[in-house]
Amino acid sequence: MISDRLERLVEEMVEKGVHFEDAVVEFEKRFITRVLGRCEGSLTRTAEALGMHRNTLSRKIAQHKIRRRAS
């Protein structure tokens, strides 16, 4: 179950002293990167899949220095 796996991951991060902001940034970057790849680099499709505005997605891609696959 996903909630159990997430709980174990959170516990491990807490034990290792990972700061909250670092965890959030890393999660966001990886989540966006994964969905962007599944959407073959399409910002419109990725934004829809993530439930965010395309402009917000573009800002987050720049903020996290995520490389888009050529479409």
Q: Domain map of the chain by residue range?
A: 2-64
pLDDT in tens, the chain (71 residues): 889 999 999 999 999 999 999 999 999 999 999 999 999 999 999 999 999 999 999 999 999 999 876 54
Long-range contacts of 61-70 (CB under 8 A, 24+ apart): 61/32, 61/36, 64/25, 64/28, 64/29, 64/32, 66/29, 66/32, 66/33, 66/36, 68/36, 68/41, 68/43, 69/36, 69/37, 69/40, 69/41, 70/41
| pLDDT tens-place string over residues 12-32 | 999 999 999 999 999 999 999
The whole-number pLDDT of residue 20 equals 97
What is the pTM (predicted TM-score) of this model? 0.85
From the candidate CATH numbers 3.30.420.40, 3.40.50.1100, 1.10.10.350, 1.10.10.60, the one assigned to the domain spanning 2-64: 1.10.10.60
The whole-number pLDDT of residue 1 equals 86
